[in-house]
């Protein structure tokens, strides 16, 4: 808990993830991880009411049910099997927060393998849809364990495409490319610099800029004034705690 | 209507070492595991496996059946990665073609349509192109002139999928929420096999589910095998959900050679009937295993 505010670190992360969806209209919000799932739901219940959420299986669902709601209690509105997900991805009607095992200065993400690709030190899940997602619709990343192992100078396998890679692949790759945010357990980052390199956007209350610099394996752009990640409103806090996550799953993902 | 019923052994008899084999399902969901187990027991080897990967790839790698894996991911869903596949990759034991999951879909679609490639943005700028130097790009012949990835067709020598219901003629019914890409695996393949929870008379399909669930036509199938519990331990809803305890035991058997040997002895060195009997026993999770 932050002593001044009574808001937990996980709750700041959820708010930061919700902000990723601000301004979105009727697009499919996909969110991997607890804080992103909470963020998408919170945005839908407050400032982005037209968001369309998935049930995590093969459907679009009504409303923003609490995390952990059983499948039989969900109200479904449309069939969304994987084959149709690609129609949505390639049409651009999607805003996504996915996880990153590694992320680098220009926004490349890795979920494929650590070490040399031919014979990796650690095999991860695989590139999944990251290459296609990143060149088709806005993509953000959630990193619950910010360290020099996750924020690296250069990712080992470019799965999600960052700004420099998209630019060098030419207009077909950069046309719909946008890495909107990176949210970690320490702060919020974006690429709003002239060269689209990572910039510290806000620090979560209770975290110092030095702490973030220390935990980051490359040189971040740090503005003269770094704001704190905004506080949830009382309404948002009560939605998070009482409606969306009564089981407190958020505090298991990110410790205060 | 031709009778396409086969036994599991007859299905395996149609396969050859060195083949490229597509496996339906997705992650740890509706995988044709009875057929995978039968491949494990066979002397088939040197396979190229094309799959939205789950424990099918893990098991085949653990048994040394795989020369090359074509995949976008390998996951057990409730366990993020398959430790057997991880071990094979980290030992450098399998060749790989790792592509975006949408590129994978287009490769199957192109093969189904007998065209050499389909264009896509997916892959541009990523290491998918770096690590698959055989992938090419293509410039649009129209005024936009966009240079896109030309995802090559992924033709298969054989494909196996698992469905909830099928008839003797090889029509299949998928009662779960997602048909995945099973239809395209069959479409991309020379020899096409469906395993099913239950063989039913054709007229029973209508009482099982709406017309949209009857998604596998016999135009796409050469053989059908009844394998009750044939997707175990992966999910095959609504017939059964994933057997999480069993999956955990499978994952932990990657911990060391002894655990794998014990798991193999207990479950895999039996015929399918033996497996189905053994898996009904309470599962002992081998603890020292990697997760």
Within 8 A of B105 by CB-CB distance, chain A residues are 83, 86
Which residue in B107, B122, B131 has the most chain A C-beta atoms within 10 A of its own C-beta, making it the best mutation to test that interface? B122
**In A, which residues are within 8 Å of B120 by CB distance?**
90, 132
Is the model's pLDDT at B288 over the cut of 50?
no
**Tokens 């070492």 sit on residue:** B17
Angle between helices B55-62 and B33-41 (to 10 degrees): 10
CA distance A132 to chain B (A): 4
Q: What is the mean pLDDT of each run of 10 residues along chain A (256 residues)?
A: 78 98 97 98 98 95 96 96 98 98 98 96 98 98 98 98 98 98 98 98 98 98 97 97 97 91
Q: Using CA atoms, how far apart are residues A146 and A102, in angstroms rounded to an integer?
A: 10
Q: Spell A151-175 as b/e; 16+ CB within 10 A means b.
A: bbeebbbbbbbbbbbbbebeebbbe
Instruction: Please give the domain boundaries of chain B with CATH numbers for all domains.
Output: 8-98+154-276 (3.40.1080.10)
Strands A139-143 and A94-99 turn out to be: parallel
| Token pair recorded at residue B10 | 């007859």
Find the Cα–Cα–Cα–Cα dihedral B87, B93, B99, B105, rounded to 10°.
-90
CB atoms B127 and A123 under 8 Å:
no
Asked if A170 and B147 come within 8 Å (Cβ–Cβ), the reply is yes
Closest residue in chain B to residue A167, using alpha carbons only: B125
Q: Strand B147-152 and strand A122-123: pairing?
A: unpaired
Percent pLDDT > 70 in chain B is: 97
pLDDT at A1: 58
User: How far apart are the C-alpha atoms of B279 and B232, rounded to whole Å?
Assistant: 9
Instruction: State the burial class of residue B290 (Cβ atoms within 10 Å of its Cβ: 0-12, 13-18, 19+).
Output: middle
- Categorize the per-residue pLDDT at B285 as very low, low, confident or very high, splitting at 50, 70 and 90: low
Identify the residue among A127, A136, A162, A196 best suited for mutation to test binding to B, counting B beta carbons within 10 A and taking the highest: A127
Say whether residue B185 is in contact with chain A using an 8 A CB cutoff: no
pLDDT tens figures, A108-149:
999 999 999 999 999 999 999 999 999 999 999 999 999 999
Distance from CA of A227 to the nearest CA of B (A): 33
- Partners of A160 on chain B (C-beta within 8 Å) are 126
Provide the shortest C-alpha distance from residue A102 to chain B (in Å).
Answer: 14
Confidence (pLDDT) at B255: 87
B192 cis-preceded (ω within 30 degrees of 0): no
pLDDT tens digits along B220-248 = 999 999 999 999 999 999 999 999 999 99
% pLDDT > 90, chain B? 95
pLDDT of residue A27: 98
Please check whether residue A83 touches B, CB under 8 A: yes
Among A126, A158, A160, the residue with its CB nearest the CB of B71 is A126
Q: Alpha-carbon distance B107 to A225, whole Å?
A: 49
Cis peptide before B238 (omega within 30 of 0): yes
| pLDDT on residue A134 | 98
Nearest CA in chain A to B80: A125
- What ipTM score was computed for the predicted complex, to two decimals? 0.96
Instruction: Read off the pLDDT band of B284 (50, 70, 90).
Output: low
CB contact (8 A) between residue B123 and residue A170:
no
| Residue contact A121–B92, C-beta within 8 A | no
Domain ranges of chain A: 9-253
Tell me yes or no: is domain A9-253 CATH 3.40.1080.10: yes
Bridge partners of residue B198, in order along the sequence: B165
Those residues with Cβ within 8 angstroms of residue B212's Cβ, 6 or more apart along the chain or in another chain: none
Listed in order, strand segments (DSSP E) in chain B are: 20-23, 47-51, 66-71, 95-98, 117-120, 136-139, 147-152, 156-166, 172-173, 189-199, 223-226
B216 touches chain A (CB under 8 A): no
Q: Which of A120, A160, A169 minimises the CB distance to B124?
A: A169
> What is the tens place of the pLDDT at every residue in B118-174?
999 999 999 999 999 999 999 999 999 999 999 999 999 999 999 999 999 999 999
- From the list A59, A83, A131, which residue is nearest B126 (CB)? A131
Between A57, A128, A157, which is nearest B72 by CB?
A: A128
- Determine the average pLDDT of the residues in B41-70: 98
CA dist., res. B251 & res. B85, Å (int): 10
**pTM higher than 0.80 for the full model?**
yes
């Amino acid at each position: 808990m932050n002593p001044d505010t009574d808001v937990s670190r996980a709750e700041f992360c959820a708010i930061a993830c919700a902000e990723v969806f601000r301004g979105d209209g009727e697009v499919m919000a996909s969110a991997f991880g607890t804080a992103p799932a909470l963020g998408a739901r919170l945005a839908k219940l407050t400032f982005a009411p037209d968001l369309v959420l998935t049930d995590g299986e093969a459907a679009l669902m009504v409303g923003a049910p609490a995390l952990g709601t059983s499948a039989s209690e969900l109200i479904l509105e449309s069939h969304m099997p994987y084959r149709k997900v690609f129609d949505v991805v390639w049409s651009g009607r999607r805003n996504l927060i996915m996880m990153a095992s590694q992320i680098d200065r220009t926004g490349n993400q890795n979920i494929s393998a650590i070490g040399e690709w031919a014979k990796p030190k650690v095999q991860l899940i695989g590139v999944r849809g990251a290459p296609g997602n990143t060149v088709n619709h806005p993509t953000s990343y959630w990193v619950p364990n910010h360290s020099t192992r996750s924020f690296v100078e250069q990712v080992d396998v470019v799965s999600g495409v960052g700004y420099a890679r998209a630019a060098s692949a030419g207009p077909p790759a950069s046309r719909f490319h946008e890495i909107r945010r990176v949210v970690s357990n320490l702060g919020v980052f974006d690429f709003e610099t002239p060269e689209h390199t990572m910039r510290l956007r806000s620090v979560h209350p209770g975290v110092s800029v030095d702490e973030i610099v220390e935990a980051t394996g490359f040189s971040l752009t740090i503005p003269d004034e770094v704001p704190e990640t905004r506080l949830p409103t009382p309404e948002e806090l009560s939605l998070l705690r009482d409606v969306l996550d009564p089981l407190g799953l958020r505090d298991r993902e990110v410790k205060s | 209507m031709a009778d396409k019923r086969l036994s599991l052994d007859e299905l395996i008899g149609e396969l050859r070492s060195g083949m490229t084999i597509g496996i339906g399902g997705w992650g740890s969901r509706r995988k044709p595991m009875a057929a995978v187990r039968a491949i494990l027991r066979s002397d088939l080897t040197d396979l190229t496996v094309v799959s939205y990967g789950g424990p099918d790839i893990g098991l085949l790698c653990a048994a040394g059946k795989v020369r090359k894996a074509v995949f976008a991911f390998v996951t057990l869903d409730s366990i993020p990665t398959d430790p057997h596949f991880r071990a094979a990759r980290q030992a450098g034991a399998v060749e790989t073609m790792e592509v975006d999951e949408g590129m994978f879909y287009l490769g199957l679609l192109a093969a189904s349509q007998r065209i050499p490639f389909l264009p896509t943005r997916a892959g541009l700028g990523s290491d998918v192109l770096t690590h698959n130097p055989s992938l090419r790009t293509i410039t649009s012949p129209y005024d936009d002139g966009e240079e896109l990835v030309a995802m090559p067709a992924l033709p298969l020598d054989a494909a196996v999928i698992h469905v909830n219901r099928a008839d003797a003629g090889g029509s299949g019914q998928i009662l779960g929420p997602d048909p995945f890409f099973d239809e395209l695996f069959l479409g991309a393949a020379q020899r096409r096999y469906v395993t099913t929870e239950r063989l039913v008379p054709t007229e029973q399909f209508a009482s099982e589910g709406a017309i949209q669930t009857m998604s596998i036509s016999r135009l796409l199938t050469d053989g059908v095998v009844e394998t009750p519990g044939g997707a175990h331990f992966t999910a095959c809803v609504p017939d059964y959900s994933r057997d999480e305890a069993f999956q955990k035991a499978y994952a932990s058997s990657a911990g060391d050679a002894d655990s794998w040997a014990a798991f193999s002895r207990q479950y895999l060195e039996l015929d399918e009937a033996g497996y189905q009997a053994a898996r009904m026993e309470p599962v002992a999770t081998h603890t020292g295993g990697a997760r």
